[in-house]
Amino acid sequence: MNSAVQKNIEIWDSVSPEFSLESHEVAGIPGKSPIFRWAGSKKKLLSALQIAAPDEFGKYYEPFFGSGILFLHLKPKGSVISDINPHLMQAYEVIRDNPELLWRAVKNIPSDDEVYYQIRGINHNDLDPISRAARFVYLNRFCFNGVYRTNQQGGFNVSRGKGNLGIPCKEVFLSFSERLKGSEIYNVDFEKIINKAKKNDFVYLDPPYIDLTKRDRGEYGLGSFRFSDLERLVSCVNRASDRGVKILISYFDCPHLMSMLPKWYIERLTVRRNISSNTSARNKANEVFLSNYIL
């Protein structure tokens, strides 16, 4: 990688006064806009999710955190967030602890195609924590549709996206950091997080969708959630439900999942999906909310 790119990603605290920090900034609403674009984001179902969430609860738990859009809008007083993706959760730790330094680091990386692929080719293990998080944020904001996909060796391999791409403003980073101040952040399996929840706590689950008719394309990392994990999830939420935990699951209209939770409340919804690069394939999809309390 050339020295200019090396400087831009690693010497993140020495921005030139002549450099325009607004050169690739996108609009965002502090306190409401997430920092990450994420496959399966519930942005289009946010209003319905807010209505479906319980009016009162203790601590908030979200083991498949992704972009965290419901977390932002619920503003829980105490929370436990987690995901199996270590790069995502490491970035959230930096967002919580050093939001402005991270923002400046990302903003100081040029947004052209050549630099994108150079940044993508860097081994994250060779970077300091803030530079590592900056690389992750940058690739997420400029890759195709915010997809996180890796090859067999674990290397990020998503191509650069098109259109109005950019980094959220500094205020979005700072406000998200404030939301995370009261959060415990983990990179562990979902079961360990759900097992922590106690009576009257609220667990929101948005696991990766499993379609056995399609090949695993690794949108969340290869093998990040399998069919056997779905059955393990059901066993885990049943135990939590017996402890008095309030649980909401958002998933695609999956008869198998609903058959495993026959006494749970169901609400069906329709949403337009836009992950496909083929616009004609971006069809409406049927989704469901499953809860152990009345919706």
Q: Which pLDDT tens digit goes with each residue over 243-253?
A: 999 999 999 99
Query: Could you tell me the pLDDT band of residue 212, with boundaries at 50, 70 and 90?
Result: low
Q: How far apart are CA 192 and CA 43, in angstroms?
A: 26
Tell me the whole-structure pTM to 2 decimals: 0.87
Query: Could you tell me the pLDDT band of residue 220, with boundaries at 50, 70 and 90?
Result: very low
Query: Could you tell me the pLDDT band of residue 270, with boundaries at 50, 70 and 90?
Result: confident
CB 290 within 8 Å of CB 266: yes
pLDDT the model gives residue 242 = 98
Structure-token match 């999809």, residue found:
285
Cα–Cα distance list, 255 to 182, 195, 252, 267 (Å): 37, 25, 9, 13
- The helix/strand/coil state of 246 is strand
Query: Could you tell me the pLDDT band of residue 165, with boundaries at 50, 70 and 90?
Result: very high
pLDDT tens, position by position, 106-156: 999 999 999 999 999 999 999 999 999 999 999 999 999 999 998 888 899
